[in-house]
Amino acid sequence: MKKWYVLNTKPKKENQVESLLLAGGFTVYNPKFIQDNRVFSFFPGYEFILFDYPEQYRLVKYTRGVKKIIGYMEGPVAIEEKVIQSIRMREINGFVELDKYGEEPEVGDEIRVMEGPLKGLRGIFKKELTQNDRVLILMNYVSYQGKIIVEKKKLKKVL
C-alpha cells in the first residue's frame, strides 16, 4: 500500500530529485514559495514522495540526489495524508502562501506599512478596495491628514 514519506535530498538537488522521480512514475510533492520574484523550496533539502514500502524502497533510496528517506533503523516512517493536504491548502497558484505579517487587519484597526516606499508609516485601516487586494488607509500626522492606497499584503496590524 502506498504511503507518503519524507525524502532528504543532497543540497540544492530538490528539483533534480523531483524530476527524476516524476519521470519514474512516482507522485512527488515539493512545496515551493515565491520571495522577491524568485522560487524557493519551502523545505530546503526535503520533499515528500508517495510510494509502496518495501517494494519500491530501493528504487527511491538510490535515485540520484537522494540522501536518505527519513525514518529509523527499522525503515522509513510514513506521514499522514492530512499533513500533505494541510500544506496544499495554503497554496495559491501552486505556491505556499503564509500570513507574512501575522493577523490580517480589519476596518478600524491601527496598521503599519511594512514594505515599499511608505514603510514605517502608521495609520487606520479605513476601507477595503477589491481591486488587487488594495486598501485605503487614513494617515494622521502633525498637521496633515490624508488617505493613501496600499496593497493589503504589505500591512501589519499594530497590536
d(CA 35, CA 145): 33
Q: How many domains does the chain have?
A: 2
Better-predicted residue by pLDDT, 99 or 55? 55
DSSP letter (8 states) at residue 79: B
Q: Are residue 27 and residue 66 in the same domain, yes or no?
A: yes
Better-predicted residue by pLDDT, 104 or 3? 3
- Bridge partners of 9, per DSSP, are 66
**Which of the listed residues 73, 96, 119 is the one where a domain comes to its end?**
96
Q: Are residue 90 and residue 115 in the same domain, yes or no?
A: no
Cell readout for 39 is 522560487
How high is the mean pLDDT of the chain? 87
Q: Are residue 85 and residue 116 in the same domain, yes or no?
A: no
d(CA 107, CA 127): 6
Q: Are residue 135 and residue 91 in the same domain, yes or no?
A: no
Could you tell me the pTM of the whole model? 0.67
**Which of the listed residues 72, 96, 120 is the one where a domain comes to its end?**
96
